[in-house]
Each structure stands twice: as C-alpha cells, then as structure tokens.
Chains A and B, each alone.
Chain A
Amino acid sequence: MKTQLTLPQNNISKTLSFICIVMFTLLAFNTSYSQSNSVSSEEATTNERTIKGIVSTDDGPLEGVNVIQKGTRIGVVTNAKGEFTFPAKLKTGDVLVFSYLGFENQSVTIKDDTTFIKMVLTEDLVEMIGALDTAKPYKSKRKKN
C-alpha cells in the first residue's frame, strides 16, 4: 500500500524535473535566437529607409496628426497638407502609430517595399453627452399658498 502511494509522487517529481529541463533548454535556445536576430538586424541596416506619407479624413488632409514609432518617443506631426516625413530611418517590421484627438488610432507595420504611407483616419463615433454635478441642495417644488 505504502509503495503504491509513493510511486505516483516519484512520477510527479520526475515529470516536473523533465518540465524544468525543457524550460531551461527553451530559455537557452531563446538567447541564441535573439543573438542571431541581432545579427540579421545589423544586416538590415542597409535596408533602413526614410518613410513619407499623407494623412487624411473623409473631409480631406488632416494637419497635426501625431505619427510615432511604436515603443519609442520618436515622432512627427503632419503639416497643413497632411504630409509627413518620418525623422528617423525605419526598417521592415517597425510600426508607426497615427493618432489625433477624436479619431481612432491606426497602426501601420513597415513592409519590405514600404516607402510611402497613405493613411485615412476614421472618427471615434462616440456620442457626446454631459451632465454636470452640482452642490446645490435639492429643493422640492411646492405649491404657492
């Protein structure tokens, strides 16, 4: 009886140690993977390029749109014609985020052949309402005698 009880426990610890080994192995693989990744990004520097574009809405070009590279603070604002030239060179896989108050945020992932982005922003269709709070005490309407 006793041995029967201890056996599954041994099995569990065996399974766990196996999982641990697998996890460590995965971790180890991960490091080497990221290394090879950085090598390829160095190669990709030659592929870095200047991205230009134009942002508009249904009403025409939109000035003042924030265009930022996702995960960074690098960005630019569109001019009166809705045009922008991104200040940093970008590579394939980088993401640009377009935002403007009252419009939905849009993201664009830079592809191998991206050099010019045509972006149309859509409005955030939120219904505008508003009630104010007040500190005025409630007063019952009373019939005048």
Chain B
Amino acid sequence: MKYIWFISLLSITSLSHAQISDFDEVDFRKADSTALANHGEDLTNLPELSYKLTSNLNTDVERFRSIYRWVCNNIANDYGLYLKNKHKRQRFINDSTRLNTWNNSFRKQLFKKLLKDKRTICTGYAYLVKKLAQFSNIECEIVQGYGRVSTTDIEKLDLPNHSWNAVKLNNKWYLCDPTWASGIPDPETNRFTFQYNDGFFLAEPELFAVNHFPVEDQWWLFDNDVPTFETFLSSPIIYGNAYKNLVLHIAPDRMHHKIKKNDSIIFNYKLKNDIEVNDVQLLIDSGFNTRKIKPISLNIENKFLTLKHLFKSTGFYDVHLYIEDDLISTYTIEVKR
C-alpha cells in the first residue's frame, strides 16, 4: 500500500520536472524527415496535411517540430507584400478607420496568396503554424509585436511589425519564430532565399527578448518584470546567427555607448556550443575603414564568452561581433577625449 503513495508522489514530481528538463534528449531527425517527405504539398487540405505531418510521430514536441519545419521550408516570404503593407500602415497610422479597412482587405488578399502561391509575410507563417498545430491538438498562439533588425529604423518603431508563435508543450509555453527561421532576403537582390535557421525553434525567452517585443506581456514568458519599450529600443542589434550560437546575450545591454579614450567595453555571452578562442573576432568600422581585431582579453569558460576591448583612439565606431563567419551582434561606440 505504501508503494501507491510513493508511486503517486513520484508521478507528481516527474510532472513538474518535465517543465524544466526541456527537450535535449529528443532527436528531431524523424520529425524533420517527415516534414521533408511532405515537401511541396499544397494548402488546400489543412487537416490532411496536419495528419500527414504528425501521424507517425509519438510526442507533441516532435509533431510540432514537423509542422514548424514544413512551414519554414515550404512558405516563402513575399518582400513585395511586406513593403506594400508597411507603406500603407505607415500612411494610415493616425486614421484608425482607414487602417482597419486596409487591414481587412489586405488580410483577404494575403490568405488568397498564401493558399495559391504559398507566399506570405510573418503573420501568415504564424497563422499557418497555429492552424496546423490546432488540427493535431497542440495548443499554439500567434504573438503580435515588434521585431527589431539591423535595417529597421529602430528608433522609430511605432506600429507592431512582426508576428511569431508561442506553443504549449508538456504544459509549458515556448517561443519560436517561423518567419525568421525560414530564410532571409538576399542582401544584394532582396529576393527571399530559403535558409533554415534552427536557432528560432523553442528559443531561449531571454535571448528572444533582445529583438522581439510582444504586445501582450504574457508572451515574454518571464517570471519577473518585463522590459519597457524604451529598454527594448535601446538593446543591441542581434542577428539570426546569434540564435544559432548563443544561449544568452548578457553584456553590453545597450546598442549605443559613449566612452572616453582608453576606456574599455566588456562583452559577455553564454554560448550554445564549445568554440575556440580563435573563432571570435570583433570587426570595427570607423567610417573610414573596417578592421578585424583581436580584443585585449578573450576568455571562454563553461560556455561563457567574455571579451574586453580597449578603445585607444577617438572616433565613432560600429562594432560587430563575429563567431567564425557568423555575424552575431552590433553596437556603436563613440570615443571622446
């Protein structure tokens, strides 16, 4: 009889542990190959597509993974639609009636385009992930908010401009960004290119918060206080590759810095993988030239990367952090006498 107590206690504790343990032991290869096996399917029968993507998988996290991978690899980002929408939203920013009318007609247009051409913009990705998850009984929500990248006019983010997903797995919410995971526009031609980035799948909420600001506070997934919009706007720029390489971006916590000559700046990160000291570089753009430099001190311990750089000359510098060829983050540093 005592065993029953013991067993029931055990099952309660193991339940609460499942929230912490996350999915390190899960091998996503089967889910990824299921997504690949259905590559090119169309969107005319969503319940059937959801079934095909999930029926051979045993856990919700694998089922969700398969849906997410399929969306990332099959739905293209439509740069033209994005520009058109951005322009109109900006135009009607102070006219809520016209903004509403525009939103309504744009939504119809967008769903038609998604169904016919499998092209869309952020909300279309997030919507499709949610819809397919819903057919497989996985709780998933669209999160609306602000996304901040190197080319957005970052000081002037006024209307929400980005959508992503929150998904409930084993009773715990996680974040992912299918749009940014699917690929990026070619820097030369602005044409969208599929280039899957795994870093945005069930991403670390604290890293996510550096360039995702949800409109509703619950989607920070923070236990404590949430950042203000001002803090968000003053955060450093991080790139898609940051999600591949980092668990946390710790310091510096701001984008712009004003320091005196011979002052130093400390950079601090928690890494996903073990890397070599030689893999890390700072690229400093003074406006006249760009140099790759080795910082004065660089230390990697227990996956924590700390570097320190001394600025000896006055000037205005864009400082980019690289791990191997991956651009991770950018800061500006103004050095005065």
Contact = CB atoms under 8 A, between A and B. Distances in A.
B150 A138 contact: yes
Contact of B51 (A73, A128, A134): A73
26 contacts: A16-B5, A66-B44, A66-B45, A75-B47, A75-B48, A99-B46, A101-B114, A101-B131, A102-B107, A102-B108, A105-B134, A123-B107, A125-B107, A126-B123, A126-B142, A128-B107, A128-B110, A129-B85, A129-B159, A130-B77, A130-B179, A131-B82, A132-B192, A133-B147, A137-B320, A140-B332
Nearest to B1: A13
B125 to A, nearest CB: 8
A77 interface: yes
Interface string B151-195: 110000001111100000000000000011000110100001000
Contacts of A125: 107
A134 B149 contact: yes
Nearest to B135: A99
B4 A132 contact: no
B240 interface: yes
Interface of A: 12-13, 16-17, 20, 64, 66, 68, 73, 75, 77, 97, 99, 101-102, 105, 123-140, 142
Interface string B119-131: 0111110011001
Given A101-B46, A130-B122, A132-B179, A137 B327 contact: yes
Summarize A's interface: helix, strand, loop or mixed.
loop
B241 interface: yes
B123 A127 contact: yes
A137 B330 contact: yes
Contacts of A140: 285, 287, 316, 318, 332
A133 B180 contact: yes
Given A105-B134, A128-B110, A137-B320, 6 more contacts: A13-B2, A129-B160, A130-B124, A134-B239, A137-B330, A142-B316
Bin chain B's interface residue count. 35 or more
B234 to A, nearest CB: 14
Contacts of B285: 139-140
Contacts of B241: 135
A131 B162 contact: yes
B307 interface: no
B138 to A, nearest CB: 14
A85 to B, nearest CB: 17
A132 B77 contact: yes
Contact of A68 (B47, B103, B149): B47
Contacts of B266: none
B304 interface: no
B107 A126 contact: yes
A66 B147 CA distance: 34
Contacts of B187: 134-136
Interface in B66-83: 77, 79, 81-82
